[in-house]
Structure 1
Amino acid sequence: MPCCIECIQTAEVGIVERCGKYYRQAGPGANCVCYPVDEIVGVVNMRVQQLDVEIETKTLDNVFVMVVVSIQYSPIQERLWEAFYSLESHKLQIRAYIEDVVRAVLPTQSLDDAFESKEAIALSIKRRLDATMHTYGYLILNSLVTDMTPDYRVRNAMNEINASKRLKEAAAEKAEGDKVLSVKSAEAEAESKYLAGVGVARQRKAIVDGLKNSISDFTSNEQIKGASSKDVVDLLLITQYFDMLNSIGTRPDTLTVFIDEDGE
């Protein structure tokens, strides 16, 4: 019986059959196989593998979304017989379970809830696969919902809603800022008018005090005898009157003409 040397790559395990029946496993490296009785009918990849599945389904609010699920898995060393012989295509089996879970969960949720529950969906998928694929010799390491994309028209509508919301918030903030500026401006104007009024009141008080002191000094002067308080007030009024005329007359745009009572 001729024997041949068959090489198995690292991280792979060969399946050896004798006369069409499972016989043994062939590890990495050189393996002696006696043909035609024994034959390596296939190898099992022991590396961690990833399967990406795209599923289209609709949500509770009748929005169609494309969901991408990534499954990371590897064969179980102690269950290589099941991993090689129990399923014709383990990838199709995993895909079927994923589609079943996604199309059972998403139709019960709105689009917003679906985006918020990606981790819960991934956990549900992993639990379902753990309960089934272990029987077939595969260990599910991780389950990830990597993408969830609604129809482009729905995305545009969501973007417009978000933009309108942001513009509304910006307009409200701007109006609030204008309100603060108006209130502060009114407060400043009121304070300014108050201080101006205080200044005018102090000015008038100073003028009155000055007039009073002038009258008192004038009437008490021994060199001016017989002058009464009325005379002093009249003199001050005439002085202010001439000061006013002088001020008006020195202005280049003066158009006022003063005449006496006879019109001369």
Structure 2
Amino acid sequence: MTDAGQIFGQLILIILIAIVAIFVLVILFRSIRIIPQANAGIVERLGKYHKTLMPGLNLLVPFIDRLRPLIDMREQVVSFPPQPVITEDNLVVSIDTVVYFQVTDARAATYEIANYLGAVEQLTTTTLRNVVGGLNLEEALTSRDNINGQLRVVLDEATGKWGIRVSRVELKAIDPPVSIQDSMEKQMRAERDRRAAILTAEGLKQSEILQAEGARQAEILRAEGDAKAQVLRAQGEAEAITTVFNAIHTGDPDSKLLAYQYLQTLPKLAEGESNKLWIIPSELTEALKGISEGFFGGKGPAPK
């Protein structure tokens, strides 16, 4: 019996040691918390906010402290489903929105709002309807930057007390009704055709202008050439007349010059109806013979 009692006592001791070891492990497991990077943990002690755990190794009081689900402190991108919005000219457009936000205060995001993600979505929808409701369709399609800026300011101001900072708001798509899309497409097609017609007309106009300019330049060059030719002919005749005049007045005309003058005078002598008898001096005959030799190289007979 003694041996059996000792064995039983040893078993009880072993069981107690195992229970204590398990209890210690449980205590350690519940006391040590490792928070990943870019996350934050909210600790409640006896149901009340106690502290915010930062990334790294943290210690808690077992069975007294409770760690709430971790909160992601990184910037988040949330795309909300398309929302129907009525514009100022009573057209229903579907707008798809993307919001960029970041939790800056884990305590406020936990206790100031029940569901901050749902709150951001609802606030975005409401603000979007207020902003776009004051614009007509054309303004809404061409004022995306303005709408984005107004949404960001309103959302950032409203979510600041929730420990959330809204950095950007983007409108992914603004889809007007199908009938309006067809009308806009026809209008754009007509505008493109009008621009093409204008460009074609401008091209033809420039072409005709260039052709007319080329013709004008050609006429100017042709006229300038004719003028220069007339000037050169006039200068040649003037030089010839000057030469004759100088020769006559210097009193030293040669035989060829006299023959040339005689030939210039013959048509005037032949004018009139009466018959005339011409007497040609022998000196003139010799001059004419010299002119003939000059013209024909001495091969032809001298004029008589």
Asked if Structure 1 and Structure 2 have the same fold, meaning a TM-score greater than 0.5 normalized by the shorter chain, the answer is: yes
Of 103, 117, 120 in structure 1, the residue corresponding to residue 146 of structure 2 is: 120
1:110 corresponds to 2:164: no
Instruction: Flag the structure with larger Rg.
Output: 2
**How many residue pairs align between the two structures?**
218
Higher strand share: 1
In the alignment, structure 1 residue 57 sits paired with structure 2 residue 82 = no
2:64 is equivalent to residue 37 of structure 1: yes
* 8 Å contact kept, 1:119–1:144: no
Is the Cα contact below 8 Å between 1:219 and 1:228 reproduced in 2? Answer: no
Q: State the match for 1:48 in structure 2.
A: 75
How far 1:186 sits from its partner (Å)?
Answer: 5.4
Residues 16 and 181 of structure 1: CA distance in aligned 2, closer, same or farther (over 3 Å): closer
SS of equivalent to 2:192: helix
Distance in 2 (CA, whole Å) between partners of 1:75 and 1:184 is: 68
Query: Which secondary structure state, in structure 2, belongs to the residue aligned with residue 36 of structure 1?
Result: coil
Query: 1:133 corresponds to which residue?
Result: 159
1:228 alignment counterpart: 270
Cα displacement (A) at 1:47:
1.3
The structural deviation recorded for 1:192 is 6.8
Task: Determine the structure 1 residue equivalent to 2:186.
Answer: 160
Deviation at 1:188, TM superposition (A): 5.7
2:141–2:174 CA contact under 8 A, matched in 1: no
Q: How does 1:247-262 map onto structure 2 within 5 Å?
A: none
Q: Contact (CA 8 Å) 1:6, 1:32: kept in 2 or not?
A: yes
How far apart in 1 are the matches of 2:124 and 2:117?
11
The yes-or-no answer on 1:72 pairing with 2:100 is yes
TM-score, normalised to structure 1, is 0.65
Deviations along 1:64-96, one digit per CA (max 9) or x if unpaired, are 33323332222224xx32211222210111111
Q: How far does residue 103 in structure 1 lie from its aligned partner after superposition?
A: 0.5
Is the partner of 2:89 in helix, strand or coil? coil
**1:100-159: CA deviation from partner (whole Å, max 9, x where unpaired):** 11101212212221133222222222222232211122222x122232322355344323
Q: Which stretch has the larger CA shift, 181-190 or 39-48?
A: 181-190
Please tell me the root mean square deviation across aligned C-alpha atoms, in Å.
3.9
Q: Hey, which of these two has a bigger chunk of helix by percent?
A: 2
- For residues 108 and 28 of structure 1, what CA distance do their matches in structure 2 show? 46
Within-5 A mapping of 1:238-249: none
Using the alignment, how far apart are the partners of 2:154 and 2:47 within structure 1?
34
Aligned residues: percent identity?
A: 21
CA contact (8 A) 1:115 1:148 kept: no
CA distance in 2, matches of 1:58, 1:88: 30
- 1:171 equivalent in alignment to 2:197: yes
Task: List runs of 5+ in structure 1 lacking aligned partners.
Answer: 207-216, 232-264
The change in CA–CA distance for 1:31 and 1:161 in structure 2 (over 3 A counts) is same
Structure 1 residues 85 and 173: CA distance shift in structure 2, 3 A: same
* Contact 2:132 2:140 survives alignment (8 Å): yes
CA distance in 2, matches of 1:39, 1:175: 80
Q: Which amino acid aligns with 2:118?
A: L
Contact 2:97 2:173 in 1 (8 A): no
Contact preservation (8 Å) 2:35, 2:57: yes
- What is the one-letter code of the residue matched to 1:165? E
Distance 2:102 2:263 in 1: 122
Q: Give the secondary-structure state (helix, strand or coil) at the position aligned to 1:135.
A: helix
TM-score after normalising by structure 2: 0.58
Q: Which has the higher contact order (CA 8 A, sep 6+)?
A: 1
Call closer, same or farther: CA 1:230–1:99 in 2, change over 3 Å: farther
